[in-house]
Amino acid sequence: MIRPAPSARIAPASRIAPTSRIAYVNGRYLPLRDARVSIDDRGYQFADGIYEVCALVDGLLVDAGRHLDRLERSAAALGIVLPMARRPLLLVMRELVRRNAVQHGLLYLQISRGTAPREHAFPATLQAALVMTVRAQARAAGEARAAAGVRVITLADQRWARCDIKSTALLPNVLAKQAAREAGAYEAWLVDRDGAVTEGSSSNAWIVDAAGTLVTRERSPAILGGVTRETLLALALQAGWAVAERRFTVPEALAAREAFLTSATAFVLPVVAIDGVKIADGRPGTLTQRLAQLYRDNLPQERAAGVR
């Protein structure tokens, strides 16, 4: 394998083997193995940070404008000053994709409040830390999952009251996803104290009711406003689908005509069983498949001239 020399921080993409991943860390492009942040980084100490995950299709970022909108909202909600304006941030994102020569996969972007001696309260002037990585993902695996559909389990939602902020503090989400995997499921749908589904541990939850209406929980601090959720809602409304942003319970989901989930990496993914109970005939629903197609046909990718 050809590895770029440590000093080759600006080597052209053509000289970098796609297997030697390049990370972006506070202004520098570095081989992943050399990418480091301080142990005093508040992201490490307190999960005091925010993040975004953006899909890459054919080498282009998907819905980058909406991801950056949300990043700005998360930063504002936590009083984190973004280390870079939107336009240069987007340029770095694109440059990192180019250097990694990834066609299909994802870009991970994390901003922590910065580095300071460990203390809960933070200094007024702190330079936020920015880290980005890009990872390739086999397209076929996602397609096979979408064709077969996935199983989900339900669990109590144990998260805090500001789930609308895309914070790196993900412990309840991590434990829920792990429980799902150990139960042989792909995702855990989280259930609030009133018995209503909030969302998945890393995705938004949807059902199609008996009348064929698309139902997903309304936006509030109880859920993350998914970028895919938002784009799909807009596309569905435009295409004349009946849509209701409202709560639904687990029994309602079990009796639904169809169920699915959305996320930046999974797009529109059919759910075929919840807590071991088949949804309808236990196969991906036809309306879900049509929606997945609608999303793929209108993939919100940046144009050459820029985003939105």
Residues noted as catalytic? 166
Q: What is the DSSP string of 240-255?
A: T--EEE---BHHHHHT
Residue showing the smallest CB distance to ligand PMP in the complex:
226
Tell me the window of 104-112, 198-206, 235-243, 286-294 that interacts with ligand PMP (CB under 6 A).
198-206
| Per-residue x/- track, 172-191, ligand PMP (CB under 6 A) | -x------------------
Judged by CB under 6 A, does residue 154 bind ligand PMP? no
Residue number, 112 or 204, with CB nearest to ligand PMP: 204
Q: Which of 285, 296, 233 is nearest to 260 (CA)?
A: 285
Span interacting with ligand PMP, options 18-26, 138-146, 196-204, 285-293, rule CB under 6 A: 196-204
Q: In this structure, are residues 66 and 300 in contact, taking their beta carbons and an 8 Å threshold?
A: yes
Instruction: Check binding of 157 to ligand PMP (CB under 6 A).
Output: no
Of 115 and 263, CB closest to ligand PMP: 263
Nearest to 48 by CA among 19, 72, 77: 77
| Contact status, residue 137 vs residue 106, Cβ threshold 8 Å | yes
106 versus 256: smaller Cβ distance to ligand PMP: 106
Q: Which burial class, exposed, middle or buried, applies to 238 when counting CB atoms under 10 A from its CB (0-12, 13-18, 19+)?
A: exposed
Give the total of residues touching ligand PMP (CB under 6 A): 14
Q: Residues 52, 53, 54, 55: what is their CA dihedral angle, to the nearest 10 degrees?
A: -170
Q: What are phi and psi of 225, to 5 degrees?
A: -70, 95
* Binding of residue 202 to ligand PMP (CB under 6 A): yes
What number of CA atoms fall less than 13 Å from residue 206's CA on the CB side?
A: 31
149: left (phi over 0), alpha (psi -120 to 50) or beta: left
111-150 positions binding ligand PMP, by CB under 6 A: none
Residue of the chain from 74, 154, 263, 288 that contacts ligand PMP (CB under 6 A): 263
Which residues 82-101 are close enough to bind ligand PMP by CB under 6 A? none
Summarize as ranges the residues that interact with ligand PMP (CB under 6 A): 53, 173, 199, 202-204, 224, 226-229, 262-264
